[in-house]
Amino acid sequence: MRRRSKLLVIVVVAMGVGFLDEPGSGYGMIRIAQQEHDWNVPTEAKTLKNPVAGDEHMVERGRKLFRTWCAMCHGDKGRGDGMVANSLEPKPTDLTKVIKNQSDGELFWKITKGKLPMPGFEVTLSEKDRWAVVTFLRRGL
């Protein structure tokens, strides 16, 4: 494993632990279990248009970003089998199974906000980069 990816894993795991340690979030794992798969995506987020959808370069840009920021959990091919996947509850989603039924806006919102143990990427990735990842999920996965 390259040093950079090792570092990323440490950061992500530390972020996860930080969330669970938040004051008032006792029984973190139980709470996560109860949330199940309800993301509560607002209707207006679902209709957001992907501003880079037609741009071929964005597929490759999204692929690189996905490898750096998502693959350790979701796996290089998005199948939910990344190297830390087994240590997570719930398990990372097999993205190849769920993206067909969702709009670009919905995926963008989920990536932006995250849902434990998945971190949100609102601060880590620019808006354009988050759309690039959505474009990769749609056209390059």
19-27, 48-56, 91-99 -> range binding ligand HEC (CB under 6 A): 91-99
17-25, 43-51, 52-60, 111-119 -> range binding ligand HEC (CB under 6 A): 111-119
- In terms of Cβ atoms closer than 10 Å to its own Cβ (0-12, 13-18, 19+), residue 93 is middle
Ramachandran region, residue 125 (left: φ > 0; alpha: ψ -120 to 50; beta: rest): beta
Q: Does 100 bind ligand HEC (CB under 6 A)?
A: no
Q: Does 133 bind ligand HEC (CB under 6 A)?
A: yes
Cβ–Cβ < 8 Å for 109, 35? no
Instruction: State CA 91 to chain mean position distance.
Output: 12
* Nearest-angstrom CA–CA distance, 141 and 99: 10
Beta bridge partners, 115, equal 118
Q: Does 132 bind ligand HEC (CB under 6 A)?
A: no
Q: Does 109 bind ligand HEC (CB under 6 A)?
A: no
Q: Does 4 bind ligand HEC (CB under 6 A)?
A: no
List the one residue from 93, 96, 103, 112 that touches ligand HEC (CB under 6 A): 93
* Nearest-angstrom CA–CA distance, 119 and 69: 10
List the one residue from 117, 132, 135, 138 that touches ligand HEC (CB under 6 A): 117
Q: Does 70 bind ligand HEC (CB under 6 A)?
A: yes
* Nearest-angstrom CA–CA distance, 80 and 62: 17
Q: Does 138 bind ligand HEC (CB under 6 A)?
A: no
Residues of this chain that bind ligand HEC (CB under 6 A): 12, 37, 69-70, 72-74, 88, 90, 92-93, 95, 98, 107, 110-111, 115, 117-118, 121, 133
